[in-house]
Structure 1
Amino acid sequence: MTDRPRFPSAVYRHGDEPDPRFTLANERTFLAWIRTALALVAGGVALEVLGLDLHAGLRLAASLVLLLAGIATPAIAWVGWIRAERAMRLGAPLPASPLGPVLALAVTASGVLVLLAVLLR
């Protein structure tokens, strides 16, 4: 075993090593959020690039909501991964993730905008 520093040191310099299964589950959760971010970006791009016969302003607004959510998700997921990993290392309760409510709001807003774009075309 090597004593090389691990990244991010703000996580690994605290507490004790948790059960590897928990660390790997935390990583899988992070990667799931990354896949979600890719889907949001792809949806935002597709909505605008396909040029559907929808109200242009509302279509653009929905696309921008999806793109902004897709851009913000990896950063929020990274912070969530750090917080969960540090909590596990310190034996503290796991913190709640802010991503669920944020993405629920973004997808709902985008859906409402697309619905209005369909109705007002």
Structure 2
Amino acid sequence: MERPGGPWDPGLQIERTTLAWLRTALTFVVGMLVLLRLIAHESNLAAAVCGALTLPLGVAISWLAWRRHLRIERGLHAETPLPGGALPAAVAALAVLAGCSGLIYVLFA
């Protein structure tokens, strides 16, 4: 049975999902800033390399989350396929890089 407004349910809470992705990105960025501060006490070069790898990815995740939100909203109204997995892949990559940065801190400390 199809609803009069379309096949999608407006209660899907696209906004809540987007905010969750943005909170995840913000958490990674803040956590990485704290970790970079700790790494900088041991090696400025290691901190610069870790920051150059992780902080732009945190900003990219925020951009991907917003773009995904817009594409999902348009896609639900137009009944087109929903976006792929670029955002979860970017978050996984950031988690791996954050773990490697933490490992660098442990090895240098």
Give TM class, smaller chain. Answer: 0.7 to 0.9
Q: Answer whether contact 1:39 1:70 (CA < 8 A) is retained.
A: no
- Could you tell me the percent identity over the aligned residues? 32
Structure number with the higher helix fraction is 2
Q: Secondary structure at the match of 1:93?
A: coil
C-alpha separation between the residues in 1 aligned to 2:16 and 2:82? 16
The root-mean-square deviation of aligned C-alpha atoms, in Å, is 2.6
1:74 alignment counterpart: 62
2, 6, 10: which one aligns with 1:20: 10
- The residue type paired with residue 44 of structure 1 is M
State the number of aligned residues.
105
71, 87, 92: which one aligns with 1:104: 92
- Where structure 1 has 5 or more consecutive residues not aligned to the other structure, the ranges are 1-14
C-alpha separation between the residues in 2 aligned to 1:120 and 1:74? 30
Q: Residues 99 and 77 (structure 1 numbering): CA distance in 2 closer, same or farther, change over 3 Å?
A: same
Structure 2-normalised TM-score? 0.75
Instruction: Quote the offset at 1:83 in angstroms.
Output: 1.2
2:102 alignment counterpart: 114
- Where structure 2 has 5 or more consecutive residues not aligned to the other structure, the ranges are none
Structure 1-normalised TM-score? 0.69
